[in-house]
Structure formats: C-alpha cells, structure tokens
C-alpha cells in the first residue's frame, strides 16, 4: 500500500515570474516554485506545497492550488492577467486629480461583478477643488448601489485611517487603480512597515527589480486577519471573459432596465422598444455609461442577427 504524503498548506503573498512567496500558517515566508512549466498561481491563492530537495535556492515546491472562491482578472485578445484570488472586497481607487477614466472604472466594476466580488469605490484627494467635479461624475455609481468613500490620504491622514480601518477589518482586500491615485500612499498609511516587507522579499529573491510592478499582500494586524493587497497600475483593461450578450447583466444601471425591452435578445443599440435606450433618454442611465457599454460591446464582437 502506497503511503500518501500530507502536503503543507500556505498562502501566496507575492509572485515574481516563476517564483512565489508562500506564507505558512505560522507566519513563515518561503520562496517556492510551481511543479511543472506552467504556473497558474496568483496572490491570495491557498496552495499545497512541500520542501524542495533541489539546490536552486527555492525552499519549496507548489504542488497544487486549493479551490478558489473567486478570481479577479482582465483578458484581452492576446493574454489573461490575473490580479488576485479569494477576495472579500475590491477597493477601486480614483482621485480628484488627475481626472480618472470612467471607462477604466467601469471595466474594473464589470470584472468584479463577473467574479462576484463586492466593491467599494474610494475617491482620494477630496481636499482639492476638483473634488466636486469628481463627485458629480461618480454620482451614477452611488445611485447604482456601489459604496463610495471619500478620503484625503495625505492631507487628512488620521481621518482617512479611521474611515478605512473598519471597512478593511477582517477582509482580504485588493486595491486597484491607475498610477497617481494614491495607492502607495494608502498602503504606507495603513501598513507603516510596508517598505520593510517589500525589502525583505527583494533580499530573499536577491532582486529588487519587480517590487513596484508585482502584486503584494500585506497584513494590517498581528493576528493576520486583515489583508491588504497592492497591485500594479494598468493602462488597458480587457473584458474578453464576458460574453457580449451577458454584458448588461454586469452593469447594474443597464441591468435594471434590460428586462423592459421588447425583444429578449435586444442589443440595446438600435432595436425598437428598447428599455435601456428609453432609460438613457429619461436620464436614468448616464450618456457616459451608455457610451462605455457600446465601446465594450464592440470590443467583444457582438453580432446582430
């Protein structure tokens, strides 16, 4: 009878190419590589691993990934880019300055809806005069039911920390947003030892090249019950994982009115009796959101019959 080996379980807290940092339940961090050539690991994965017997410098081998609760990713024509797995919350950051892309914001929200991950929109730099305009642009998202939180991470540090702490408590949260919104400021505010943690990983890998372009998990408490995940900025956000005819289902404002269309397979573009276009005309769906819907629909290659 063959004796089965019970593999240790760990949490993936960082990934650099084919090297991953896996944290044990006791808090020890090890450099591991996946078994085989292909790797599907992402930060937030629970994995089964065992100590390595090779001399490549790694301390463990990842044998398998435990089933995921969810996975946030983007997908374009050429590749799929995963952000993180097993999330309790997606914190999408925008700022009063620079002016944020509503298309990028919408795409992030659609990806989260697709993955079944709750979202909080964080508006930073509300101490600036441009905050009023940003608030106005975000009004439709608040009306859709998304939680919108306002902070000034640099100007009002203590207040911002008090606002954010209870929302993050006990959760695994991914921070997502373009450069310039204040993601690094947020991480350093909530995790004062963040730079030290990054430095330790860089030293372990003998490389600091990827520390600003890779996803990184931080603990906010000694009990390791609250995790904050930093992610690299992005310019494009493809949604090829979404079927074109299902797109309105992941946009709450369109979803609310899609059931009022005359035709069950309405594309909400030119068909008569369209409940979505009627809602746009009544001002219940913003023109910007309807335009974004059209852009994404075209990208997804929707064919009209």
Cβ contact 90:119 at 8 Å: yes
Judge whether 221 is annotated as a binding position. no
Whether the predicted pLDDT of 294 surpasses 60: yes
β partners of residue 90: 119, 174
pLDDT score for 77 = 80
Question: CA nearest 122: which of 148, 158, 146?
Answer: 148
pLDDT score for 303 = 41
List Cα–Cα distances, 264 to 106, 141, 302, in angstroms: 24, 26, 15
Judge whether 184 is annotated as a binding position. yes
233: confidence class by pLDDT, cuts 50, 70, 90: confident
Judge whether 257 is annotated as a binding position. no
Judge whether 232 is annotated as a binding position. no
Question: How does pLDDT run across 149-173, given as a tens digit for each residue?
Answer: 999 999 999 999 999 999 999 999 9
Where does residue 216 fall: left (phi above 0), alpha (psi -120 to 50 degrees), or beta otherwise? beta
- Residue 249: how many CB atoms within 10 A of its CB? 15
Whether the predicted pLDDT of 46 surpasses 80: yes
DSSP 8-state class, residue 2 = P
Two tokens, residue 132 = 């009023």
CA–CA separation, 235 and 55 (whole Å): 39
Question: How does pLDDT run across 245-277, given as a tens digit for each residue?
Answer: 999 999 999 999 999 999 999 999 999 999 999
What's the predicted TM-score (pTM) here?
0.90
Judge whether 268 is annotated as a binding position. yes
Whether the predicted pLDDT of 234 surpasses 80: no
Judge whether 124 is annotated as a binding position. yes
Judge whether 185 is annotated as a binding position. yes
Judge whether 41 is annotated as a binding position. no
What φ, ψ does residue 38 adopt, rounded to 5°?
-95, 140
Percent of the chain with pLDDT over 70: 89
Structural element, H or E, at residue 93: strand 89-95
Regarding predicted confidence, which is higher, 235 or 287? 287
Judge whether 32 is annotated as a binding position. no
pLDDT score for 257 = 97
Q: How many helices (H) and strands (E) would you count in the chain?
A: 8, 13
Regarding predicted confidence, which is higher, 212 or 110? 110
The DSSP-derived string for 177-215 is --TTSSHHHHHHHH-TTHHHHHHHHHHHHT--TTTTTS-
Judge whether 182 is annotated as a binding position. yes
Judge whether 178 is annotated as a binding position. yes
pLDDT score for 304 = 41
Could you give all domains of the chain from N- to C-terminal order, each with its CATH number? 8-65 (2.40.50.140), 71-230 (3.40.50.300), 244-299 (1.10.40.50)
Of 37-46, 54-63, 216-225, 229-238, the range with the lowest mean pLDDT is: 54-63
Judge whether 125 is annotated as a binding position. yes
Question: How does pLDDT run across 100-119, given as a tens digit for each residue?
Answer: 999 999 999 999 999 999 99
Judge whether 88 is annotated as a binding position. no
Q: Is 237 exposed, middle or buried (0-12, 13-18, 19+ CB in 10 A)?
A: buried
214: confidence class by pLDDT, cuts 50, 70, 90: confident
């Amino acid at each position: 009878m063959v004796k089965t080996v019970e593999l240790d379980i760990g949490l993936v807290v960082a990934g650099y190419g084919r090297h991953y940092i896996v944290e044990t339940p006791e808090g020890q961090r090890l450099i591991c590589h996946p078994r085989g050539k292909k790797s599907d690991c992402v930060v937030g994965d629970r994995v089964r691993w065992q100590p390595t017997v090779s001399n490549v410098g790694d301390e463990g081998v990842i044998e398998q990934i435990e089933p995921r609760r969810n996975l946030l990713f983007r997908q374009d024509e050429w590749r799929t880019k995963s952000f993180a797995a097993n999330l309790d919350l997606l914190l999408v950051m925008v700022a009063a300055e620079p002016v944020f892309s509503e298309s990028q914001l919408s795409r992030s929200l659609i990806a989260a809806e697709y993955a079944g991950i709750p979202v909080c929109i964080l508006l930073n730099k509300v101490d600036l005069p441009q905050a009023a305009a940003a608030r106005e642009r975000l009004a439709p998202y608040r009306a859709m039911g998304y939680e919108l939180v306002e902070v000034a991470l640099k100007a009002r540090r203590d207040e911002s920390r008090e606002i954010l702490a209870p929302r993050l408590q006990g959760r695994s949260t991914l921070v997502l947003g373009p450069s310039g919104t204040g993601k690094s400021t947020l991480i350093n505010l909530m995790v004062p030892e963040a730079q030290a943690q990054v430095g330790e990983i860089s030293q372990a890998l003998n490389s600091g090249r990827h520390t600003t372009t890779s996803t990184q998990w931080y603990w906010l408490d000694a009990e390791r019950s609250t995790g904050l995940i930093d992610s690299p900025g992005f310019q494009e956000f493809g949604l090829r994982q979404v079927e074109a005819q299902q797109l309105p289902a992941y946009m709450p404002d369109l979803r609310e009115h899609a059931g009022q269309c005359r035709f069950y397979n309405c594309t909400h573009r030119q068909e008569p009796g369209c409940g979505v276009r009627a809602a746009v005309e009544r001002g219940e769906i913003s023109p910007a959101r309807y335009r974004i819907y059209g852009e994404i629909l075209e990208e997804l290659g929707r064919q009209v019959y």
